[in-house]
Amino acid sequence: MPILIVPDPNTGYIAGLGGSIIHIINGVLVPVLFAISFIVFLWGIARTYIFAGGEKHEEGHKLILWGIIGFAVMLSIWGIVNVVTNTFGVAAPGPDIPLPKGPYGP
């Protein structure tokens, strides 16, 4: 007699796991990589204009280029993650921030 294995129709665990992964990417990984890319960019500017001279000048140009490439890659990853999040309706867990009440708000 064959055994039929039916997956659990409750997808709460999987959706929660997906939301946690999205939160780690959007809340931790992307900002840290943006910071690293920005530091590389600034270090390239420093090497190009402050320590100008010969080989350091060329290395500064390369660091500026890699910093800009890092910005572009992180912006792309951030966009892809947000498209996937909005497409599949997976929301990252986060704190509930109360909206300010004003004459035109809620």
User: What pLDDT is stored for residue 31 in this prediction?
Assistant: 84
Q: Is residue 104 included in any domain, yes or no?
A: no
Token pair listed for 57: 């000048």
Q: Is 50 exposed, middle or buried (0-12, 13-18, 19+ CB in 10 A)?
A: exposed
Give the tens place of pLDDT for each residue, 13-49: 666 666 677 777 777 888 888 898 899 888 888 888 8
Q: Is residue 48 included in any domain, yes or no?
A: yes
Count CB atoms within 10 A of the CB of residue 94: 10
Which domain range does residue 80 map to? 26-84
Q: Is residue 19 included in any domain, yes or no?
A: no
Number of structural domains the chain divides into: 1
Helix (H, G, I), strand (E, B) or coil at 37: helix
What number is the average pLDDT over the span 66-91? 82
